[in-house]
């Protein structure tokens, strides 16, 4: 593939990312010039909670999970991200240690942007700065919604909503949606309840025919 075609493909890809959908052509070209593509095998830690970070990442292909360590040392899953999502920007903005660990769930291609390049682009591009602010506000609203649902939604509804949000189509599953690998304890952490309650809810959803299980994956 020629350099011209590679650059065009990169611009087309960046333009399709919600964060950059309103960026000018000049901004997109500047970003494309600064992006470094990196490939990670399945199960690779890209950023680690508590460590310093000099890069943010945009997922070009693949899927990752975002986790934090609980007080007793267990892995608490915060979210799953896929192509078009980005992560790691907080450490670039405040220079504090990474607030979470991000690990690949499958072989992934990520676009890395350094702190220097990121801050320079924000300084020069009001539209990009506004886009970043909007995404951060959306994430804050999502966190508020999660806190509200834990207070007012039934546990069964929270478990259903979680599965519907994280499940994705998979080849060979006859149209079913499949979740990443999850334990009952991880589900309990994500919906704010006990492992025993999740076990009861999952059993009931299976009886109703809404849910099936394949190892640690769930099909809806």
Count of the separate structural domains present in the chain: 2
DSSP 19: G
Write down which residue in 150, 176, 203 finishes a domain.
Answer: 150
- Residue 187: which CATH number? 1.10.10.10
CB atoms within 10 A of CB 52: 11
User: Which of 220, 170, 212, 184 has its CA nearest to residue 77?
Assistant: 184
Same domain, 44 and 117: yes
Write down which residue in 150, 167, 201 finishes a domain.
Answer: 150
Same domain, 125 and 98: yes
- Residue 135: which CATH number? 2.60.120.10
Q: Is 170 exposed, middle or buried (0-12, 13-18, 19+ CB in 10 A)?
A: middle
Q: Quick one: tokens of 96? A: 């504090």
Same domain, 21 and 130: yes
* Distance (Å, whole) CA 46 – CA 40: 8
Q: What is the pLDDT of residues 172-184, one digit of tens each?
A: 667 789 998 889 9
**Percent of the chain with pLDDT strictly greater than 70:** 92
Query: What's the pLDDT score for residue 195?
Result: 92
Q: What is the pLDDT of residues 33-73, one digit of tens each?
A: 888 899 999 999 999 999 988 898 999 999 999 998 877 77
**Rounded average pLDDT per 10-residue block, the chain, 220 residues:** 60 78 78 89 94 90 90 82 86 84 94 88 82 81 71 83 87 79 88 91 94 91
Domain hosting 53: range is 3-150
Q: What is the 3 state secondary structure string of 77-117?
A: EEEEEECCCEECHHHHHHCCCCCCEEEECCCEEEEEEEHHH
Same domain, 19 and 108: yes
Same domain, 133 and 35: yes
Query: What's the pLDDT score for residue 200?
Result: 95
Query: What's the pLDDT score for residue 192?
Result: 82
Query: What's the pLDDT score for residue 8?
Result: 73
Write down which residue in 100, 119, 150 finishes a domain.
Answer: 150
Same domain, 130 and 159: no
Same domain, 86 and 27: yes
Same domain, 96 and 190: no
Same domain, 140 and 157: no
Query: What's the pLDDT score for residue 99?
Result: 87
Q: Which residue has the tokens 């970043």?
A: 132
- For residue 213, the Cα-to-chain-centroid distance in whole angstroms is 23
User: Which of 136, 129, 135 has its CA nearest to residue 27?
Assistant: 129
Q: Quick one: tokens of 21? A: 């959908």
């Amino acid at each position: 593939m020629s350099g011209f075609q590679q650059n065009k493909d990169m611009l087309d890809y960046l333009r399709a990312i919600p964060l950059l959908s309103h960026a000018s052509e000049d901004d997109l070209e500047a970003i494309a010039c600064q992006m470094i593509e990196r490939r990670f095998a399945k199960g690779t830690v890209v950023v680690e909670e508590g460590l310093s970070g000099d890069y943010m990442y945009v997922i070009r292909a693949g899927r990752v999970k975002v986790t934090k360590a609980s007080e007793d040392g267990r892995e608490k899953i915060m979210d799953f991200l896929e192509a078009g999502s980005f992560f790691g920007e907080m450490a670039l903005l405040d220079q504090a240690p990474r607030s979470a660990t991000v690990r690949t769930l499958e072989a992934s291609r990520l676009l890395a942007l350094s702190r220097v390049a990121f801050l320079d682009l924000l300084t020069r591009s009001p539209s990009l700065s506004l886009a970043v602010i909007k995404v951060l506000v959306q994430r804050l609203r999502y966190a508020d919604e999660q806190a509200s649902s834990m207070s007012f939604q039934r546990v069964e509804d929270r478990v259903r909503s979680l599965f519907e949000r994280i499940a994705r189509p998979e080849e060979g599953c006859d149209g079913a949606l499949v979740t990443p690998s999850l334990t009952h304890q991880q589900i309990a952490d994500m919906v704010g309840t006990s492992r025993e309650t999740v076990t009861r809810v999952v059993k009931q959803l299976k009886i109703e025919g809404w849910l099936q299980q394949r190892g640690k994956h769930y099909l809806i």
